[in-house]
C-alpha cells in the first residue's frame, strides 16, 4: 500500500505516519527502580536528548500478578518474588500525575503501558493521549477491551506475537474505530541484529495499511536510525541514564547520551530523504571544489610555438579549470599557436583547429 494512502494517527499534539517526523519514544520502563526522583530525572534527560515522548510502565501488583510469577531475569536480591518487584515499582495516582505534568512541562508526550484493568483506569484519570500495548497483553482480554473502550489511539507492539494474533488485534481495533499503529519488536533482551526484523515494517504497512514503527531492544542506536530511513513513523527505545545502572533491562537499553545521538541521526535521515539531489545541479554548485580536485592538460616539457603535439608532450595535473584531462587524446596531433612552459595549463586558444 502506498504511504500516501495511509492515514496518520494523532497522539496528543503530534501526528504519526507518512509525511510526519519520526516519533521518538524513550521507554523508561522500570529503569527508575521504584524511585520517583529517578523517574523525574529520566524525564529531564529524555527531554534534553530530543525525544518526543517518555514512556513508563504502570504495574499494580495485586491487579496483574501472583506470588507464583517467575522472574524473567533473576537479578534482585531485595525482592523475594516478582510480585514483590512489581509492588516496589508502583507509584501512587498522585505521583503518576506529577510525572505526567513534568513531562508536559518539558514538551514531552507522556505515555505508560498499562498491565491491568486497574492500571488503564488509573492512567485514564491521570490522562494519556494514547495507549502503548505490549505484545504480552494481546491475550489479556479484559484489559484490551477496556483500552479499546476509551477510543484512544493504540500503539501496538508485536514482540512475542504471531501474525494471526496481530491480525485479530488489528481487526478488533478497526471494528471499534480505534486509530492504531503497529510496531515491530522482538522480545529478546538484547536483540541481536539478525533478529531485529526491519523487513516487518513493509509487511505491516502492506498488511494493515497503518503507520508502522520499531520498538527496539538491541541496546544500540542503529536499528532506530535504520527504521527511520525505511519510513518508520515511530521508533521506541529503552533508555538508562548510564550502563552502570541496576536492573534487568540495562543490556537492552541505550543511554540518554546515545538517545541524543540517535535522535540527531533520525533528524538527519529525514533531511536526506526530503531533499533529493540533482547531480548535474550539484556539480555546478561544487564547481570550485571540482576545480581543486580535478586535473587539466598541461605541458610535460617546455614547448615551442608550432610544436605538433604528441602524447609525451602532455601531462594531466591539478588544478582543474583548463582542458579536462580526459580530453588529452583529442589534443594529440594539434599544433601549438604559442610557446608554453613545463606545467603550464593549455587552453583551446593555444591550439590550432583540428
249 and 334 together in one domain: no
87 and 204 together in one domain: yes
57 and 127 together in one domain: yes
101 and 184 together in one domain: yes
Looking at the structure of the chain, the number of domains it has is 2
Q: Write the DSSP symbol of residue 308.
A: B
Final residue of a structural domain among 274, 290, 306: 274
229 and 328 together in one domain: no
pLDDT at position 77 is 74
3-state secondary structure string across 250-307: HHHCEEHHHHHHHHHHHHHHHHHHHCCCCHHHHHHHCHHHHHHHCCEEEECCCECCCC
Please state whether beta strands 296-299 and 212-216 pair in parallel, antiparallel, or not at all (unpaired).
unpaired
Cell numbers representing residue 88 in the block: 516496589
Torsion of CA 155, 158, 161, 163, to 10 degrees: 90
pLDDT at position 283 is 83
73 and 136 together in one domain: yes
217 and 340 together in one domain: no
267 and 293 together in one domain: no
CATH number of the domain that residue 286 is part of: 3.90.1210.10
Tallying the residues shown for the chain, one arrives at: 354
- Asked whether the beta carbons of 104 and 18 are under 8 A apart, the reply is no
269 and 322 together in one domain: no
190 and 332 together in one domain: no
Final residue of a structural domain among 249, 274, 299: 274
pLDDT at position 5 is 84
Final residue of a structural domain among 253, 274, 295: 274
Question: What is the reported pTM?
Answer: 0.86
pLDDT at position 150 is 98
153 and 205 together in one domain: yes
CATH number of the domain that residue 63 is part of: 3.20.20.70
Per-residue confidence in pLDDT tens, the chain, 354 aa: 555 589 999 999 999 999 999 999 999 999 999 999 999 999 999 999 999 999 999 999 999 888 877 777 676 677 778 888 899 999 999 999 999 999 999 999 999 999 999 999 999 999 999 999 998 888 889 999 999 999 999 999 999 999 999 999 999 999 999 999 999 999 999 999 999 999 999 999 999 999 999 999 999 999 999 999 999 999 999 999 999 998 888 999 999 999 999 999 999 999 999 999 998 998 888 888 888 899 999 999 999 999 999 999 999 999 999 999 999 999 999 999 999 999 999 999 999 986
**How remote is the C-alpha of 196 from its chain's centroid?**
13
Q: Write the DSSP symbol of residue 225.
A: H
99 and 181 together in one domain: yes
Please state whether beta strands 9-11 and 14-16 pair in parallel, antiparallel, or not at all (unpaired).
antiparallel
pLDDT at position 70 is 74
User: CA neighbours within 13 Å on the CB side: how many for 285?
Assistant: 6
pLDDT at position 75 is 65
Note down the domain range covering 221.
Answer: 3-274
Amino acid at each position: 500500500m502506498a504511504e500516501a494512502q495511509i492515514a496518520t494517527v494523532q497522539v496528543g499534539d503530534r501526528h504519526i505516519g507518512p509525511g510526519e517526523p519520526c516519533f521518538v519514544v524513550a521507554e523508561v520502563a522500570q529503569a527508575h527502580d521504584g524511585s520517583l526522583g529517578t523517574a523525574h530525572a529520566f524525564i529531564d534527560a529524555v527531554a534534553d536528548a530530543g525525544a518526543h515522548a517518555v514512556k513508563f510502565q504502570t504495574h499494580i501488583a495485586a491487579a496483574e500478578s501472583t506470588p507464583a510469577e517467575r522472574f524473567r531475569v533473576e537479578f534482585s536480591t531485595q525482592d523475594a518474588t516478582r510480585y514483590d518487584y512489581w509492588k516496589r515499582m508502583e507509584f501512587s495516582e498522585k505521583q503518576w500525575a506529577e510525572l505526567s505534568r513534568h513531562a508536559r512541562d518539558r514538551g514531552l508526550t507522556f505515555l505508560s503501558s498499562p498491565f491491568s484493568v486497574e492500571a488503564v483506569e488509573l492512567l485514564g484519570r491521570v490522562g494519556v493521549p494514547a495507549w502503548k500495548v505490549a505484545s504480552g497483553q494481546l491475550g489479556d482480554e479484559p484489559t484490551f477491551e477496556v483500552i479499546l473502550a476509551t477510543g484512544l489511539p493504540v500503539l501496538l507492539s508485536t514482540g512475542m506475537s504471531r501474525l494471526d494474533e496481530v491480525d485479530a488485534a488489528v481487526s478488533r481495533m478497526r471494528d471499534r474505530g480505534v486509530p492504531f499503529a503497529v510496531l515491530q519488536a522482538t522480545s529478546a533482551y538484547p536483540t541481536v541484529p539478525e533478529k531485529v526484523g526491519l523487513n516487518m515494517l513493509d509487511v505491516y504497512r502492506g498488511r494493515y495499511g497503518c503507520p508502522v514503527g520499531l520498538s527496539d531492544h538491541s541496546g544500540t542506536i542503529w536499528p532506530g536510525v535504520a527504521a527511520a530511513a525505511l519510513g518508520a513513523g515511530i521508533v521506541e527505545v529503552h533508555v538508562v541514564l548510564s550502563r552502570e545502572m541496576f536492573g534487568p533491562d540495562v543490556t537492552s537499553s541505550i543511554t540518554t547520551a546515545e538517545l541524543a545521538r540517535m535522535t540527531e541521526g533520525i533528524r538527519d535521515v529525514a533531511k536526506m530523504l526530503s531533499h533529493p539531489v540533482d547531480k548535474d545541479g550539484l556539480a555546478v554548485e561544487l564547481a570550485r571544489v571540482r576545480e581543486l580536485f580535478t586535473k587539466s592538460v598541461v605541458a610535460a616539457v617546455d614547448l615551442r610555438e608550432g610544436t605538433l603535439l604528441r602524447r609525451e608532450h602532455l601531462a594531466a595535473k591539478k588544478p582543474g579549470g583548463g582542458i579536462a584531462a580526459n580530453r588529452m587524446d583529442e589534443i594529440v596531433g594539434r599544433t601549438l599557436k604559442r610557446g608554453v612552459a613545463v606545467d603550464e595549463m593549455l587552453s583551446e586558444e593555444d591550439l590550432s583547429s583540428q
